[in-house]
Amino acid sequence: MKKNIIILISSIIVFIWCMLILIFLWHSAKKNNTQIVGEFSLTDYQWEIQTFSTEQNVGYVKDKTYAINSAKQLWLEKYNVNISNKKIRVSFDSIESCWHVYTIQSPNVVGGVFHAIIHENGDVLAVWPED
């Protein structure tokens, strides 16, 4: 009887511990959902790169945070817009070592989406708005 109670109490403690870990992980993922990095193919954006190319360099882009901050600075300089991090998404092309940073809009909002493609070495390949 005592053995069964000990097993039951141990099981409840393990269950509660697992639930706390899951809640913590879910909260962390929800908090940082704008920082999730997707994938993209640079070859899908050749027209944009030819049309909206620039000779700027933002310095070595070591991670998604630096890519976001660089793109925000480019958009501020070029279009005079300051975008909230909540409205920014990031993708990475691991073959070409390029970051694609872009904004999202709610379906009912009038306005464009801004894009920036930045090579890992800091070369800005293209910056453009999309209606």
Domain extent listing, the chain:
1-31, 37-130
Q: What is the pTM of this model?
A: 0.71
Which CA distances in Å does 21 have to 14, 24, 28, 120, 125? 11, 5, 11, 35, 41
One-letter identity of residue 61: V
pLDDT for position 34: 45
What residue ranges of the chain have pLDDT lower than 70? 27-35, 108-111
pLDDT for position 88: 94
Give dist(CA 28, CA 66) in Å, integer: 20
> What strands, in cross-sheet order, belong to the sheet with 88-93?
37-39, 88-93, 98-103, 113-119, 124-130
pLDDT tens, position by position, 91-118: 999 999 999 999 998 776 666 899 999 9
